[in-house]
Chain A
Amino acid sequence: MALGQYHKADSVLHRMDPRFKMLIAVVYMLVIFIARDAVSLTLVLAFLAGAIALSGIPLRMLITSLRPVIVFVVFTFIVNLVFIRSGDVLMTVGPLTLTTGGLSTASFMTIRLLALFVSTALLGFTTSPVDLADGMEGLLSPFERFGVPAHELSMMMSIALRFIPILVIEKERIVRAQTARGADFESGNLIARGRALIPVLTPLFMSAFRHAEDLATAMESRCYHGKEGRTRVKILTPGTADWTAAAALGLLTAALIALRYVA
């Protein structure tokens, strides 16, 4: 969801090796769920705060990017708050009983979810689509011996990301044209609205196929024939920042495991 909203800047996070960034993001998202107490959660958030500070992404932009998921987060909070009954009773409103256990579980869940979304957004903001595809290819290449088409998958992903803005513009054009012909996209029930999308989706698919064919012709006429014998402009080499970030994440993971299982 946060992918494809790259924000160009020059920061430590932007310069990191995309393979490390992606791997660290994935591991971090798993680690978030080990944290069960206040101290571990603070550590988790501290790691994220450090990443944000090093990302050069304005805080406001990160917060705006959370807008689409805010309903989901609030819903999760309320469900947890209402349905979990443990600890002391805080207050009773009609049939609802709010407990301390419910409140703490709800708060923990909300903070975890927000950390999850912010870390994804951070990856999307600091990694260009080309870097994402390169990183994905790099991470998948060890699995090539088991038949995973790493190069093809990453090429597909970069093409897909590249075409999102083009298709968005195309969609707007078609909507405008059909609106001018009298199409109505805003009234009627769900079924009527769904049917109203046919005059938009059909031309949009046609145009996607047209673009795909043009692109295939263009790639072939530039002698693209898959991975075999291809060299790279940018060769990925992990630097100090990458190893430091990996080590920091290792420490964080060790600390969280210790807090949860040893203490």
Chain B
Amino acid sequence: MPILLEHVTYRYSEPDDTDPALLDVSLQVPDGEFLGVIGHTGSGKSTLVQLMGGLIQPVTGRVMVDGRDLADRSSRKMLRHRIGMVFQYPEHQLFADTVADDVGFGPRALGIEQHDIERRVTEALARVDLDICTCGHRSPFELSGGQMRRVAIAGVLAAEPSILILDEPMAGLDPVGRTETAALLGRLHRQGLTIVMISHDMDDIAILAERILVLRDGSVFAHGTPAEVFSRSTELREIGLGVPHATRFAARLTECGVLPDDTIFTPETLADSVALALGHPAQGKVI
């Protein structure tokens, strides 16, 4: 489902003299797109995703999801289960005695029939690479950190959303957990989910996102493909953000005259370009 923001402004405290958390943001996320959101602390990322989820309402402007205005209570209610929100450290919201029970919480709250709940729980766990038979009856609190996070994400997927919004889904995970989560998000995206992900990690964003939104002090600083956004590396560094490791490395190689001037942002394209520059055919594989 597409998301549309029209001149959205949001303020946390009432009097107008305070700085708005978001100022006149207009944005379109087409159906099935993977949008990466980056920005400094306090740039308005979390506010933006909460607006997209309908958890808060803009002071001025409109947030439209699937053509419906989220300011309207009935359309919010209708869209609530279609928009899945994964907050920071989602494993902190686990509460039930068993993994299956916790994942089924969303569907139960939506009033879905019992046999359908069981199907959804099995499917949601399978989507995050967990088997209902081996871990469905276990307590979520005896799992590893990475597994707990995947259970929490399964709990959101069980409502079968069309849009998945994630706030720092990889924060605090070990390298294995990060790779697993990144692979999971890539898979979900290929299954047709519209995904909006906040991340501090430029490498994750570069690999996963189709388009990137850069926020600065509540306004849109840049919005475009990874190649477009990361080609402005000097400006990004000026506002306190980095570029992917591959981009930085490629820039050094361009300075040395090894590579032509071209924006590279994934390890694979970097490897391909270097191989090409050295006279070998490209072999990098696409993740």
Contacts and interface: CB of A to CB of B under 8 A. Distances in A.
Contact of A176 (B87, B95, B96, B159): B87
A207 B95 CA distance: 11
A182 B92 contact: no
B106 interface: yes
A203 B94 contact: yes
A87 interface: no
B55 interface: yes
Interface in A165-186: 173-174, 176-184
Interface string B121-156: 000000000000000000001000000000000011
B110 A203 contact: no
Contact of A182 (B50, B55, B81): B81
Given A173-B87, A176-B87, A206-B141, A181 B95 contact: no
A198 to B, nearest CB: 7
Interface string A175-208: 0111111111000000000000011101100110
Interface residues on A, range: 10 to 19
Interface in B82-109: 83-85, 87, 90, 92-96, 105-107, 109
B178 interface: no
Interface in B201-254: none
B55 A179 contact: yes
Contacts of B96: 199, 202
A174 B106 contact: no
Contacts of B80: 180, 182
Contacts of B155: 181
B53 interface: yes
Contact of A184 (B93, B107, B109): B109
Contact of A181 (B50, B92, B159): B159
Contacts of A181: 85, 93, 105-106, 109, 155-156, 159
Interface residues of B, number: 24
A146 to B, nearest CB: 42
A180 B87 contact: yes
Given A177-B85, A182-B159, A206 B92 contact: yes
A128 B270 CA distance: 58
Nearest to A177: B93
A203 B105 contact: no
A177 B87 contact: yes
Contacts of B53: 180
Interface string B30-53: 000000000000000000001001
Contacts of A203: 92-95
Contacts of B106: 181-182
A174 B94 CA distance: 10
Contacts of B95: 198-200, 202-203, 206
A226 to B, nearest CB: 31
A176 B80 CA distance: 12
Nearest to B89: A173
Contacts of B141: 206
A243 B95 CA distance: 54
A177 B109 contact: no
A176, A182, A206, A207 interface centre (most CB from chain B within 10 Å): A182
A199 B101 CA distance: 11
A202 B159 CA distance: 21
B55 A207 contact: no
A199 B92 contact: no
Given A173-B87, A184-B109, A206-B141, A178 B159 contact: no
Interface string B171-200: 000000000000000000000000000000
A227 B84 CA distance: 50
Contact of B92 (A179, A198, A207): A207
26 contacts: A174-B92, A176-B50, A177-B85, A177-B87, A177-B90, A178-B93, A178-B105, A180-B53, A180-B80, A180-B84, A180-B87, A181-B105, A181-B106, A181-B155, A181-B159, A182-B81, A182-B105, A182-B106, A182-B110, A182-B159, A183-B105, A183-B109, A199-B96, A200-B95, A206-B92, A206-B141
Q: Which 8 A-B pairs have the closest CB atoms?
A: A202-B95, A182-B109, A180-B85, A177-B93, A181-B106, A182-B106, A199-B95, A177-B87
Interface of A: 173-174, 176-184, 198-200, 202-203, 206-207
Given A174-B92, A177-B93, 5 more contacts: A180-B84, A180-B156, A181-B93, A182-B105, A199-B93
